[in-house]
Copies of this chain bind each other. A is one copy, B any other.
């Protein structure tokens, strides 16, 4: 990992878990073990530029993670149950879900159109993974599109609830409900 990637990966992890306001640039330098000058060298426009790079980096990481989980089972309902089960297990092992969502960053940057666009792009890419999984099982696009969007939104909400209530079972219960919707769409 080169210096720029070290900076961005550290920032992404801290921003996702603690938030962009709570994470100072000095903390990112300390945790990443990079010299002070590197921040200004790679991100001459300051923190907003680093936040944007961190959103894209975090998004790529989440997308790869979700894609891997979805690829494990052919049927979309089994694949989603597997994804949410692996998230619940991760929460039980690590004690947090910080790496799975950019919701905190999205909510904190509501007043910055460029950062909101970066977050929207990640959300849209995630939806697209779900939509593709649904259409690959024969669900027509006009049904798969809103369902894929809903799957993405309800997983974001489930992550918040599971984290706040410290209850990984809420992720598993989300899979149960989404399974019903997927079966309905498959039978239609």
Q: Hey, which bits of chain A sit against chain B, CB under 8 A? A: 17-19, 21-22, 96, 103-104, 106-108, 110-111, 116, 119-120, 123-124, 146-147, 149-150, 152-158, 160-161, 163-166, 170, 173-174, 176-177, 180-181, 184
Contact = CB atoms under 8 A, between A and B. Distances in A.
Query: Which 6 pairs of residues, A with B, have the shortest CB-CB distance?
Result: A157-B157, A21-B21, A154-B154, A153-B157, A156-B157, A104-B107
Given A19-B19, A108-B19, A149 B120 contact: no
Copies in the complex: 2
Given A164-B119, A181-B181, A107 B107 contact: yes
Contacts of A176: 146
A184 B180 CA distance: 9
B184 A170 contact: no
A4 to B, nearest CB: 26
A108 B177 contact: no
A110 B161 CA distance: 11
Given A173-B150, A177-B146, A163 B19 contact: no
Contacts of A153: 154, 157-158, 160-161, 170, 174
- Name which of A157, A177, A181 has the most chain B CB atoms within 10 A of its CB: A157
Contacts of A149: 161, 170, 173
Contacts of A184: 180, 184
A164 B149 CA distance: 13
Contact of A161 (B146, B147, B152, B170): B152
A186 to B, nearest CB: 13
Contacts of A165: 120, 123-124
